[in-house]
A and B are shown apart, each in its own frame.
Chain A
Amino acid sequence: MKQQYDKHRYDVVVIGSGPAGMAAAVSAADSGVSVCLAEREERMGGILKQCIHDGFGLIRFKEKLTGPEYAWRYEQMVRKRDIDFMGLTFLTGIEKRENDFKIAFVNPERGVFEIEAGSLVMAMGCRERSGRQIFLHGERPAGIFTAGQAQDFINLKGFMPGRRCVILGSGDIGLIMSRRLTLEGAEVLGVYEIGSAPSGLTRNIVQCLEDYNIPLHLETTVTEVHGKERVEGVTVCRVDENKKPIMETALFLACDSLILSVGLIPENDILAPLDVDIDSVTKGPSVNQRQETSVPGMFSCGNALHVSDLVDYVSESGHVAGKMAAARVLKREADSGQMVIKKAGILQYAVPQNISFPVNGQVPVFFRPSEASDHAEFIFRQGERVIHKKKLSWLKPSEMHRLELDLSKVRQDGPAVTFELKPEAVNE
Protein backbone atom coordinates (compact mmCIF):
# COMPACT_ATOMS: atom_id res chain seq x y z
CA MET A 1 0.00 0.00 0.00
CA LYS A 2 1.08 3.52 -0.73
CA GLN A 3 2.56 5.45 2.17
CA GLN A 4 0.30 7.70 4.18
CA TYR A 5 0.86 11.43 4.17
CA ASP A 6 1.30 13.70 7.14
CA LYS A 7 0.28 17.05 5.67
CA HIS A 8 -2.27 18.92 7.70
CA ARG A 9 -3.61 21.36 5.15
CA TYR A 10 -4.78 21.06 1.55
CA ASP A 11 -6.47 23.47 -0.82
CA VAL A 12 -9.01 20.83 -1.84
CA VAL A 13 -10.00 17.64 -0.01
CA VAL A 14 -12.13 15.12 -1.93
CA ILE A 15 -14.18 12.63 0.08
CA GLY A 16 -14.62 9.33 -1.77
CA SER A 17 -12.60 7.95 -4.68
CA GLY A 18 -15.25 6.45 -6.94
CA PRO A 19 -15.78 7.72 -10.49
CA ALA A 20 -16.89 11.15 -9.18
CA GLY A 21 -14.16 11.62 -6.57
CA MET A 22 -11.33 10.51 -8.87
CA ALA A 23 -12.50 12.92 -11.59
CA ALA A 24 -12.81 15.72 -9.01
CA ALA A 25 -9.29 15.13 -7.66
CA VAL A 26 -7.88 15.14 -11.22
CA SER A 27 -9.60 18.38 -12.28
CA ALA A 28 -8.71 20.12 -9.00
CA ALA A 29 -5.04 19.08 -9.36
CA ASP A 30 -5.04 20.28 -12.98
CA SER A 31 -6.09 23.72 -11.70
CA GLY A 32 -2.81 23.89 -9.78
CA VAL A 33 -3.95 23.44 -6.18
CA SER A 34 -2.90 20.88 -3.54
CA VAL A 35 -5.31 17.93 -3.40
CA CYS A 36 -6.01 15.12 -0.95
CA LEU A 37 -8.25 12.21 -1.97
CA ALA A 38 -9.70 10.34 1.02
CA GLU A 39 -11.15 6.83 0.62
CA ARG A 40 -12.58 4.46 3.24
CA GLU A 41 -11.59 1.34 1.30
CA GLU A 42 -8.03 0.27 0.56
CA ARG A 43 -8.25 0.98 -3.16
CA MET A 44 -9.69 3.63 -5.46
CA GLY A 45 -12.58 2.89 -7.79
CA GLY A 46 -15.62 2.72 -5.52
CA ILE A 47 -18.46 0.54 -6.72
CA LEU A 48 -16.88 0.19 -10.21
CA LYS A 49 -14.52 -2.46 -8.83
CA GLN A 50 -17.42 -4.90 -8.49
CA CYS A 51 -19.30 -3.83 -11.65
CA ILE A 52 -17.51 -6.31 -13.91
CA HIS A 53 -20.07 -6.00 -16.74
CA ASP A 54 -19.42 -3.72 -19.70
CA GLY A 55 -21.10 -0.61 -21.06
CA PHE A 56 -19.15 2.01 -19.09
CA GLY A 57 -17.31 4.92 -20.70
CA LEU A 58 -19.14 5.20 -24.04
CA ILE A 59 -19.35 8.97 -23.62
CA ARG A 60 -16.18 9.67 -21.61
CA PHE A 61 -13.76 7.37 -23.46
CA LYS A 62 -15.79 6.57 -26.63
CA GLU A 63 -15.27 2.89 -25.78
CA LYS A 64 -17.28 0.15 -24.15
CA LEU A 65 -15.39 -0.64 -20.95
CA THR A 66 -16.07 -2.82 -17.92
CA GLY A 67 -16.30 -1.14 -14.49
CA PRO A 68 -12.79 -2.20 -13.36
CA GLU A 69 -11.29 -0.95 -16.66
CA TYR A 70 -13.03 2.42 -16.32
CA ALA A 71 -11.81 2.72 -12.71
CA TRP A 72 -8.29 1.73 -13.76
CA ARG A 73 -8.11 4.52 -16.35
CA TYR A 74 -9.09 7.12 -13.78
CA GLU A 75 -6.74 5.62 -11.18
CA GLN A 76 -3.85 6.08 -13.61
CA MET A 77 -4.85 9.73 -14.11
CA VAL A 78 -4.86 10.25 -10.33
CA ARG A 79 -1.49 8.54 -9.90
CA LYS A 80 0.13 10.64 -12.64
CA ARG A 81 -0.69 13.81 -10.73
CA ASP A 82 0.48 15.23 -7.44
CA ILE A 83 -2.54 13.98 -5.49
CA ASP A 84 -2.20 12.54 -1.97
CA PHE A 85 -4.38 9.42 -1.81
CA MET A 86 -5.34 8.30 1.70
CA GLY A 87 -6.82 4.80 1.67
CA LEU A 88 -8.58 3.04 4.57
CA THR A 89 -9.44 6.51 5.83
CA PHE A 90 -12.87 7.18 7.28
CA LEU A 91 -14.43 10.62 7.59
CA THR A 92 -15.95 11.19 11.03
CA GLY A 93 -16.84 14.87 11.09
CA ILE A 94 -16.71 18.21 9.30
CA GLU A 95 -16.46 21.60 10.93
CA LYS A 96 -17.14 24.71 8.84
CA ARG A 97 -14.95 27.64 9.84
CA GLU A 98 -15.01 31.17 8.52
CA ASN A 99 -12.79 30.58 5.50
CA ASP A 100 -12.13 26.87 5.49
CA PHE A 101 -13.06 23.45 6.87
CA LYS A 102 -11.62 21.27 9.61
CA ILE A 103 -12.17 17.61 8.80
CA ALA A 104 -11.80 14.71 11.24
CA PHE A 105 -10.62 11.33 9.95
CA VAL A 106 -9.59 7.99 11.35
CA ASN A 107 -7.24 5.49 9.73
CA PRO A 108 -5.00 2.62 10.89
CA GLU A 109 -1.73 4.56 10.53
CA ARG A 110 -2.53 7.95 11.99
CA GLY A 111 -5.39 7.02 14.29
CA VAL A 112 -7.76 9.94 14.80
CA PHE A 113 -6.50 13.05 13.05
CA GLU A 114 -7.60 16.32 11.50
CA ILE A 115 -6.96 18.01 8.18
CA GLU A 116 -7.78 21.56 7.11
CA ALA A 117 -9.17 22.20 3.66
CA GLY A 118 -9.87 25.33 1.67
CA SER A 119 -12.67 23.60 -0.25
CA LEU A 120 -14.35 20.26 0.11
CA VAL A 121 -15.71 17.98 -2.60
CA MET A 122 -18.26 15.48 -1.30
CA ALA A 123 -18.22 12.39 -3.53
CA MET A 124 -19.52 9.69 -1.19
CA GLY A 125 -21.80 8.02 -3.73
CA CYS A 126 -25.04 6.35 -2.73
CA ARG A 127 -26.38 3.47 -0.70
CA GLU A 128 -28.88 0.78 -1.56
CA ARG A 129 -32.29 0.78 0.06
CA SER A 130 -32.49 -2.17 2.41
CA GLY A 131 -35.25 -4.58 3.36
CA ARG A 132 -36.16 -2.46 6.39
CA GLN A 133 -36.65 0.60 4.21
CA ILE A 134 -39.26 -1.19 2.09
CA PHE A 135 -41.03 -2.54 5.19
CA LEU A 136 -39.86 -6.11 4.77
CA HIS A 137 -40.43 -7.09 8.39
CA GLY A 138 -40.50 -10.29 10.37
CA GLU A 139 -37.82 -12.93 10.89
CA ARG A 140 -34.29 -12.19 9.80
CA PRO A 141 -33.20 -15.37 8.06
CA ALA A 142 -29.91 -15.52 6.20
CA GLY A 143 -30.36 -15.18 2.46
CA ILE A 144 -31.69 -11.65 2.08
CA PHE A 145 -29.19 -9.49 0.20
CA THR A 146 -29.19 -6.18 -1.58
CA ALA A 147 -28.13 -6.58 -5.22
CA GLY A 148 -24.88 -4.75 -4.53
CA GLN A 149 -24.09 -7.09 -1.64
CA ALA A 150 -24.69 -10.10 -3.87
CA GLN A 151 -22.46 -8.47 -6.50
CA ASP A 152 -19.69 -7.96 -3.93
CA PHE A 153 -19.94 -11.59 -2.77
CA ILE A 154 -19.82 -13.07 -6.26
CA ASN A 155 -17.46 -10.73 -8.10
CA LEU A 156 -14.94 -9.78 -5.41
CA LYS A 157 -15.12 -12.48 -2.75
CA GLY A 158 -16.08 -15.47 -4.88
CA PHE A 159 -19.06 -16.64 -2.80
CA MET A 160 -22.47 -17.59 -4.16
CA PRO A 161 -25.23 -15.89 -2.17
CA GLY A 162 -27.80 -18.53 -3.13
CA ARG A 163 -28.82 -21.21 -5.62
CA ARG A 164 -32.51 -20.42 -6.12
CA CYS A 165 -33.10 -16.69 -6.12
CA VAL A 166 -36.01 -14.28 -6.29
CA ILE A 167 -35.21 -10.70 -7.27
CA LEU A 168 -37.39 -7.95 -5.78
CA GLY A 169 -37.27 -4.67 -7.70
CA SER A 170 -36.12 -4.04 -11.25
CA GLY A 171 -33.28 -1.57 -10.70
CA ASP A 172 -30.27 -1.95 -12.98
CA ILE A 173 -28.10 -3.74 -10.42
CA GLY A 174 -30.88 -6.29 -9.84
CA LEU A 175 -31.13 -6.93 -13.58
CA ILE A 176 -27.35 -7.21 -13.93
CA MET A 177 -27.28 -9.61 -10.97
CA SER A 178 -30.07 -11.76 -12.46
CA ARG A 179 -27.78 -12.43 -15.41
CA ARG A 180 -24.69 -12.82 -13.25
CA LEU A 181 -26.36 -15.35 -10.92
CA THR A 182 -27.63 -17.32 -13.93
CA LEU A 183 -24.17 -17.43 -15.54
CA GLU A 184 -22.73 -18.66 -12.24
CA GLY A 185 -25.20 -21.54 -12.16
CA ALA A 186 -27.96 -20.25 -9.89
CA GLU A 187 -31.62 -20.37 -10.84
CA VAL A 188 -33.34 -16.99 -10.93
CA LEU A 189 -37.09 -17.59 -10.55
CA GLY A 190 -38.08 -14.11 -11.61
CA VAL A 191 -37.84 -10.38 -11.11
CA TYR A 192 -40.81 -8.90 -9.18
CA GLU A 193 -41.52 -5.19 -9.59
CA ILE A 194 -44.30 -3.38 -7.69
CA GLY A 195 -44.52 -0.57 -10.30
CA SER A 196 -46.15 -0.79 -13.72
CA ALA A 197 -42.83 -0.20 -15.54
CA PRO A 198 -39.34 -1.54 -14.89
CA SER A 199 -37.03 0.92 -13.11
CA GLY A 200 -33.87 -0.23 -14.90
CA LEU A 201 -32.68 0.59 -18.42
CA THR A 202 -34.55 -1.13 -21.26
CA ARG A 203 -31.31 -2.57 -22.64
CA ASN A 204 -30.80 -4.39 -19.35
CA ILE A 205 -34.29 -5.92 -19.56
CA VAL A 206 -33.24 -7.30 -22.97
CA GLN A 207 -29.68 -8.44 -22.33
CA CYS A 208 -30.07 -9.55 -18.70
CA LEU A 209 -33.59 -11.00 -18.53
CA GLU A 210 -34.86 -11.83 -22.04
CA ASP A 211 -31.54 -13.37 -23.13
CA TYR A 212 -31.78 -15.84 -20.23
CA ASN A 213 -35.57 -16.33 -20.22
CA ILE A 214 -35.91 -14.79 -16.76
CA PRO A 215 -39.52 -13.63 -16.27
CA LEU A 216 -40.29 -10.04 -15.25
CA HIS A 217 -43.49 -9.69 -13.20
CA LEU A 218 -44.77 -6.11 -13.08
CA GLU A 219 -47.27 -4.87 -10.47
CA THR A 220 -46.21 -7.75 -8.26
CA THR A 221 -44.35 -7.67 -4.97
CA VAL A 222 -43.05 -9.86 -2.16
CA THR A 223 -45.41 -9.78 0.82
CA GLU A 224 -43.76 -12.34 3.09
CA VAL A 225 -40.39 -13.98 3.60
CA HIS A 226 -40.49 -17.53 4.97
CA GLY A 227 -37.78 -19.27 6.99
CA LYS A 228 -36.11 -18.75 10.35
CA GLU A 229 -32.43 -19.65 9.95
CA ARG A 230 -32.32 -19.41 6.17
CA VAL A 231 -34.79 -18.13 3.59
CA GLU A 232 -37.06 -21.03 2.59
CA GLY A 233 -39.34 -19.14 0.29
CA VAL A 234 -41.27 -15.95 -0.36
CA THR A 235 -44.91 -15.09 -0.98
CA VAL A 236 -45.47 -12.94 -4.03
CA CYS A 237 -48.68 -11.06 -4.67
CA ARG A 238 -50.11 -8.91 -7.46
CA VAL A 239 -50.94 -5.35 -6.40
CA ASP A 240 -53.86 -3.11 -7.33
CA GLU A 241 -53.59 0.44 -8.68
CA ASN A 242 -52.93 1.73 -5.14
CA LYS A 243 -50.07 -0.75 -4.77
CA LYS A 244 -52.12 -2.72 -2.25
CA PRO A 245 -51.53 -6.50 -2.45
CA ILE A 246 -54.44 -8.52 -3.87
CA MET A 247 -54.42 -11.38 -1.38
CA GLU A 248 -56.25 -13.85 -3.66
CA THR A 249 -53.25 -13.76 -6.00
CA ALA A 250 -50.73 -14.78 -3.29
CA LEU A 251 -48.31 -17.43 -4.48
CA PHE A 252 -45.59 -19.25 -2.51
CA LEU A 253 -42.20 -19.59 -4.22
CA ALA A 254 -39.62 -21.91 -2.70
CA CYS A 255 -36.19 -20.20 -2.80
CA ASP A 256 -33.07 -19.82 -0.67
CA SER A 257 -32.39 -16.16 -1.27
CA LEU A 258 -34.10 -12.86 -1.92
CA ILE A 259 -32.12 -10.18 -3.75
CA LEU A 260 -33.32 -6.58 -3.34
CA SER A 261 -32.91 -3.98 -6.05
CA VAL A 262 -35.27 -1.35 -4.73
CA GLY A 263 -33.54 1.96 -5.20
CA LEU A 264 -30.50 3.98 -4.32
CA ILE A 265 -30.23 6.93 -1.94
CA PRO A 266 -27.42 9.51 -2.05
CA GLU A 267 -25.22 9.18 1.02
CA ASN A 268 -25.14 12.51 2.83
CA ASP A 269 -25.67 11.65 6.52
CA ILE A 270 -22.35 13.28 7.42
CA LEU A 271 -23.71 16.64 6.21
CA ALA A 272 -26.60 16.75 8.71
CA PRO A 273 -24.80 18.77 11.44
CA LEU A 274 -23.87 21.44 8.86
CA ASP A 275 -27.46 22.22 7.88
CA VAL A 276 -26.75 21.80 4.18
CA ASP A 277 -29.89 22.37 2.09
CA ILE A 278 -31.05 18.97 0.79
CA ASP A 279 -33.35 18.57 -2.24
CA SER A 280 -36.28 16.47 -1.01
CA VAL A 281 -36.56 14.73 -4.40
CA THR A 282 -32.93 13.91 -5.21
CA LYS A 283 -31.98 13.41 -1.50
CA GLY A 284 -28.71 15.14 -2.38
CA PRO A 285 -27.68 18.72 -1.61
CA SER A 286 -29.23 21.57 -3.60
CA VAL A 287 -26.41 23.07 -5.64
CA ASN A 288 -25.74 26.00 -7.94
CA GLN A 289 -24.26 25.72 -11.46
CA ARG A 290 -20.80 25.30 -9.90
CA GLN A 291 -22.14 22.36 -7.87
CA GLU A 292 -21.56 24.33 -4.69
CA THR A 293 -23.94 23.48 -1.84
CA SER A 294 -25.62 25.99 0.47
CA VAL A 295 -22.41 25.88 2.54
CA PRO A 296 -19.88 28.06 0.65
CA GLY A 297 -16.75 26.10 -0.28
CA MET A 298 -18.50 22.71 -0.06
CA PHE A 299 -19.18 21.04 -3.41
CA SER A 300 -21.14 17.90 -4.22
CA CYS A 301 -20.92 15.52 -7.18
CA GLY A 302 -21.73 12.10 -8.59
CA ASN A 303 -24.29 9.83 -6.96
CA ALA A 304 -24.02 11.75 -3.68
CA LEU A 305 -25.56 14.70 -5.54
CA HIS A 306 -28.22 12.72 -7.42
CA VAL A 307 -28.30 9.11 -8.56
CA SER A 308 -27.20 8.84 -12.20
CA ASP A 309 -27.81 6.09 -14.76
CA LEU A 310 -24.40 6.49 -16.38
CA VAL A 311 -20.93 6.55 -14.85
CA ASP A 312 -19.85 8.98 -17.58
CA TYR A 313 -22.20 11.61 -16.13
CA VAL A 314 -20.95 10.85 -12.62
CA SER A 315 -17.37 11.60 -13.67
CA GLU A 316 -18.45 14.70 -15.57
CA SER A 317 -20.10 16.03 -12.43
CA GLY A 318 -16.94 15.20 -10.43
CA HIS A 319 -14.86 17.07 -12.99
CA VAL A 320 -17.00 20.20 -12.59
CA ALA A 321 -17.00 20.03 -8.77
CA GLY A 322 -13.20 19.56 -8.58
CA LYS A 323 -12.52 22.44 -10.94
CA MET A 324 -14.91 24.76 -9.14
CA ALA A 325 -13.60 23.75 -5.70
CA ALA A 326 -10.10 24.72 -6.87
CA ALA A 327 -11.39 28.00 -8.33
CA ARG A 328 -13.00 28.81 -4.99
CA VAL A 329 -9.62 28.52 -3.26
CA LEU A 330 -7.73 30.48 -5.91
CA LYS A 331 -10.20 33.34 -6.07
CA ARG A 332 -12.17 33.92 -2.92
CA GLU A 333 -14.93 36.12 -4.10
CA ALA A 334 -18.42 36.16 -2.67
CA ASP A 335 -21.33 35.59 -5.05
CA SER A 336 -23.34 38.66 -5.87
CA GLY A 337 -26.63 36.85 -5.53
CA GLN A 338 -28.52 33.59 -5.91
CA MET A 339 -31.76 32.55 -7.58
CA VAL A 340 -33.75 29.34 -7.08
CA ILE A 341 -34.75 27.65 -10.34
CA LYS A 342 -38.45 26.78 -10.37
CA LYS A 343 -39.75 23.47 -11.73
CA ALA A 344 -42.86 23.13 -13.88
CA GLY A 345 -44.72 20.48 -15.85
CA ILE A 346 -43.63 16.85 -15.60
CA LEU A 347 -40.17 17.67 -14.29
CA GLN A 348 -39.32 15.37 -11.39
CA TYR A 349 -36.06 17.16 -10.60
CA ALA A 350 -33.27 19.12 -12.23
CA VAL A 351 -29.67 19.69 -11.12
CA PRO A 352 -28.45 22.41 -10.56
CA GLN A 353 -31.31 23.68 -8.42
CA ASN A 354 -29.96 27.25 -8.11
CA ILE A 355 -28.09 29.87 -10.10
CA SER A 356 -25.36 31.93 -8.41
CA PHE A 357 -24.27 35.21 -9.93
CA PRO A 358 -22.09 36.07 -11.73
CA VAL A 359 -22.68 33.24 -14.24
CA ASN A 360 -20.58 32.45 -17.24
CA GLY A 361 -20.72 29.87 -19.98
CA GLN A 362 -22.58 26.68 -20.75
CA VAL A 363 -23.33 24.25 -17.94
CA PRO A 364 -24.64 20.69 -18.08
CA VAL A 365 -28.14 20.36 -16.61
CA PHE A 366 -29.41 16.91 -15.60
CA PHE A 367 -33.07 16.07 -15.12
CA ARG A 368 -35.64 13.29 -14.97
CA PRO A 369 -39.33 13.41 -15.88
CA SER A 370 -41.88 12.56 -13.19
CA GLU A 371 -43.88 10.40 -15.61
CA ALA A 372 -43.40 8.67 -18.95
CA SER A 373 -44.15 10.71 -22.06
CA ASP A 374 -43.63 9.89 -25.75
CA HIS A 375 -42.81 13.48 -26.62
CA ALA A 376 -42.10 16.54 -24.50
CA GLU A 377 -40.44 19.91 -24.72
CA PHE A 378 -37.88 21.20 -22.25
CA ILE A 379 -38.31 24.95 -21.81
CA PHE A 380 -35.79 27.19 -20.02
CA ARG A 381 -37.31 30.60 -19.41
CA GLN A 382 -37.02 33.68 -17.25
CA GLY A 383 -40.49 35.01 -16.59
CA GLU A 384 -42.18 34.71 -19.98
CA ARG A 385 -38.93 35.14 -21.93
CA VAL A 386 -37.91 31.76 -23.39
CA ILE A 387 -34.11 31.36 -23.34
CA HIS A 388 -33.87 27.83 -24.72
CA LYS A 389 -36.23 25.10 -25.96
CA LYS A 390 -35.55 21.50 -26.83
CA LYS A 391 -37.86 18.75 -28.04
CA LEU A 392 -37.34 15.32 -26.50
CA SER A 393 -38.74 11.86 -27.21
CA TRP A 394 -39.43 8.70 -25.22
CA LEU A 395 -39.04 10.12 -21.76
CA LYS A 396 -39.20 7.83 -18.76
CA PRO A 397 -38.54 8.51 -15.06
CA SER A 398 -35.95 5.71 -15.17
CA GLU A 399 -33.86 7.51 -17.78
CA MET A 400 -31.97 10.69 -16.98
CA HIS A 401 -31.49 13.47 -19.53
CA ARG A 402 -28.64 15.91 -19.99
CA LEU A 403 -28.77 19.29 -21.71
CA GLU A 404 -26.17 22.02 -21.99
CA LEU A 405 -27.67 25.39 -21.18
CA ASP A 406 -26.26 28.89 -21.30
CA LEU A 407 -27.19 30.23 -17.87
CA SER A 408 -25.38 33.53 -18.53
CA LYS A 409 -28.50 34.63 -20.43
CA VAL A 410 -30.30 34.90 -17.09
CA ARG A 411 -30.60 38.51 -15.85
CA GLN A 412 -29.86 38.86 -12.19
CA ASP A 413 -32.46 41.59 -11.74
CA GLY A 414 -35.08 39.72 -13.80
CA PRO A 415 -38.06 37.59 -12.75
CA ALA A 416 -37.94 33.94 -11.65
CA VAL A 417 -36.20 31.32 -13.81
CA THR A 418 -38.14 28.15 -14.65
CA PHE A 419 -37.23 24.77 -16.10
CA GLU A 420 -40.39 23.33 -17.57
CA LEU A 421 -40.94 19.89 -19.06
CA LYS A 422 -44.11 20.06 -21.09
CA PRO A 423 -45.66 16.85 -22.46
CA GLU A 424 -46.74 17.14 -26.08
CA ALA A 425 -49.45 15.40 -28.03
CA VAL A 426 -48.04 14.46 -31.43
CA ASN A 427 -50.11 13.23 -34.35
CA GLU A 428 -48.34 10.26 -35.86
Chain B
Amino acid sequence: MNKKMICIACPRGCAMTVNLEGDEPVIRGNQCSRGLDYARQEILQPLRMLTTTVKTTHPDYPRLPVRLSCDIPKDSLLECMRLINRVRVDHDCLPGDVLVSGVAGELVNLIATGDLSYDA
Protein backbone atom coordinates (compact mmCIF):
# COMPACT_ATOMS: atom_id res chain seq x y z
CA MET B 1 0.00 0.00 0.00
CA ASN B 2 1.35 3.42 -0.99
CA LYS B 3 0.43 6.42 1.11
CA LYS B 4 0.96 9.90 -0.33
CA MET B 5 1.94 12.76 1.91
CA ILE B 6 3.28 16.31 1.69
CA CYS B 7 6.18 17.04 4.00
CA ILE B 8 5.46 20.06 6.20
CA ALA B 9 8.94 20.29 7.74
CA CYS B 10 9.87 23.27 5.57
CA PRO B 11 8.25 25.51 2.93
CA ARG B 12 9.56 23.39 0.06
CA GLY B 13 6.73 20.90 0.75
CA CYS B 14 8.12 17.73 -0.86
CA ALA B 15 5.51 15.33 -2.29
CA MET B 16 6.39 11.95 -0.76
CA THR B 17 5.11 8.40 -1.12
CA VAL B 18 5.38 5.97 1.74
CA ASN B 19 5.23 2.22 1.11
CA LEU B 20 4.03 0.35 4.19
CA GLU B 21 4.22 -3.22 2.85
CA GLY B 22 7.54 -4.26 4.41
CA ASP B 23 8.67 -4.19 8.04
CA GLU B 24 10.17 -0.75 7.61
CA PRO B 25 8.31 2.00 5.72
CA VAL B 26 9.97 2.89 2.39
CA ILE B 27 9.87 6.64 1.85
CA ARG B 28 10.40 8.32 -1.52
CA GLY B 29 10.27 11.89 -2.79
CA ASN B 30 11.89 13.61 0.19
CA GLN B 31 14.74 15.99 -0.62
CA CYS B 32 16.31 15.95 2.84
CA SER B 33 16.48 13.83 6.00
CA ARG B 34 13.81 15.90 7.73
CA GLY B 35 11.33 14.37 5.27
CA LEU B 36 12.21 10.85 6.48
CA ASP B 37 11.70 11.84 10.12
CA TYR B 38 8.44 13.56 9.30
CA ALA B 39 7.06 10.61 7.31
CA ARG B 40 8.01 8.03 9.99
CA GLN B 41 6.43 10.14 12.73
CA GLU B 42 3.34 10.85 10.61
CA ILE B 43 2.66 7.10 10.28
CA LEU B 44 3.26 6.44 13.98
CA GLN B 45 1.49 9.45 15.44
CA PRO B 46 1.12 12.84 13.73
CA LEU B 47 2.67 15.63 15.81
CA ARG B 48 2.16 19.38 15.40
CA MET B 49 3.51 22.56 16.91
CA LEU B 50 0.90 24.76 18.58
CA THR B 51 1.33 28.53 18.52
CA THR B 52 -1.27 30.90 19.95
CA THR B 53 -1.53 33.93 22.25
CA VAL B 54 -2.33 34.44 25.92
CA LYS B 55 -4.01 37.30 27.75
CA THR B 56 -1.90 39.97 29.44
CA THR B 57 -2.75 42.72 31.92
CA HIS B 58 -0.69 45.21 29.88
CA PRO B 59 -2.73 48.28 28.80
CA ASP B 60 -1.16 48.54 25.31
CA TYR B 61 -0.36 44.92 24.51
CA PRO B 62 -3.39 42.79 25.46
CA ARG B 63 -2.00 39.55 23.94
CA LEU B 64 1.39 37.86 24.18
CA PRO B 65 2.35 35.33 21.47
CA VAL B 66 3.35 31.86 22.76
CA ARG B 67 4.37 28.41 21.55
CA LEU B 68 4.91 25.01 23.10
CA SER B 69 8.40 23.70 23.90
CA CYS B 70 7.83 20.73 21.55
CA ASP B 71 5.34 19.28 19.08
CA ILE B 72 2.31 17.52 20.54
CA PRO B 73 -0.11 14.89 19.13
CA LYS B 74 -2.36 16.43 16.50
CA ASP B 75 -5.55 15.21 18.18
CA SER B 76 -4.70 17.00 21.43
CA LEU B 77 -4.36 20.51 19.93
CA LEU B 78 -7.86 21.73 20.82
CA GLU B 79 -7.64 20.41 24.38
CA CYS B 80 -4.28 22.13 24.74
CA MET B 81 -5.81 25.41 23.49
CA ARG B 82 -8.41 25.14 26.28
CA LEU B 83 -5.64 24.88 28.90
CA ILE B 84 -3.55 27.70 27.42
CA ASN B 85 -6.56 30.02 27.30
CA ARG B 86 -6.63 30.04 31.12
CA VAL B 87 -3.15 31.61 31.29
CA ARG B 88 -2.78 35.31 32.03
CA VAL B 89 0.56 37.13 32.04
CA ASP B 90 1.17 40.09 34.38
CA HIS B 91 4.96 40.41 34.34
CA ASP B 92 7.86 41.29 32.04
CA CYS B 93 9.05 38.54 29.74
CA LEU B 94 11.35 37.89 26.79
CA PRO B 95 11.10 35.43 23.90
CA GLY B 96 12.12 31.99 25.19
CA ASP B 97 10.87 32.53 28.77
CA VAL B 98 8.92 29.58 30.21
CA LEU B 99 5.48 30.89 31.20
CA VAL B 100 3.99 27.61 32.43
CA SER B 101 5.79 24.31 33.08
CA GLY B 102 3.81 21.22 32.15
CA VAL B 103 1.00 23.04 30.38
CA ALA B 104 -0.07 19.94 28.40
CA GLY B 105 1.48 16.92 30.07
CA GLU B 106 4.53 17.06 32.29
CA LEU B 107 7.14 17.54 29.58
CA VAL B 108 5.48 20.30 27.57
CA ASN B 109 6.13 23.89 28.60
CA LEU B 110 4.47 27.09 27.42
CA ILE B 111 7.08 29.47 25.99
CA ALA B 112 6.77 33.20 25.28
CA THR B 113 7.68 34.13 21.70
CA GLY B 114 7.26 37.89 22.14
CA ASP B 115 8.52 40.36 24.72
CA LEU B 116 6.44 42.28 27.23
CA SER B 117 7.66 45.18 29.34
CA TYR B 118 5.70 46.96 32.06
CA ASP B 119 8.21 49.84 32.31
CA ALA B 120 6.69 53.08 31.08
Binding site for B on A (CB under 8 A): 49, 52-55, 58, 64, 66-69, 72, 154-158, 183-184, 201-203, 205-207, 211, 309-310, 394
With a cutoff of 8 Å between Cβ atoms, the chain A residues found around residue B77 in the complex are 183
B11–A203 touching, CB < 8 Å: yes
A203–B51 touching, CB < 8 Å: no
With a cutoff of 8 Å between Cβ atoms, the chain B residues found around residue A72 in the complex are 95, 114-115
Given contacts A68-B114, A158-B55, contact A203 B74 (CB under 8 A): no
A58–B11 touching, CB < 8 Å: yes
The complex places the Cα of A207 from the Cα of B74 at a distance, in Å, of 10
A157–B63 touching, CB < 8 Å: yes
Q: Which residue from B7, B11, B63, B96 sits with its C-beta under 8 Å from A156?
A: B63
With a cutoff of 8 Å between Cβ atoms, the chain A residues found around residue B62 in the complex are 156-158
The complex places the Cα of A64 from the Cα of B11 at a distance, in Å, of 11
Binary contact track B41-70/A, C-beta < 8 Å → 1, others 0: 000000011111101000001110111000
A155–B8 touching, CB < 8 Å: no
A207–B63 touching, CB < 8 Å: no
A206–B81 touching, CB < 8 Å: no
A66–B13 touching, CB < 8 Å: no
The complex places the Cα of A157 from the Cα of B50 at a distance, in Å, of 19
With a cutoff of 8 Å between Cβ atoms, the chain A residues found around residue B6 in the complex are 202-203, 205-206
Assess whether B10 is interfacial by the CB under 8 Å rule: yes
Closest-CB distance, B52 to chain A (whole angstroms): 6
Cβ-closest 5 pairs across A and B: A202-B13, A52-B65, A68-B114, A203-B13, A203-B8
| A-B pairs with beta carbons under 8 Å apart, 16 shown | A52-B51, A52-B53, A52-B66, A53-B51, A55-B10, A68-B65, A68-B95, A69-B96, A157-B62, A158-B63, A183-B78, A207-B48, A211-B48, A211-B74, A309-B11, A394-B15
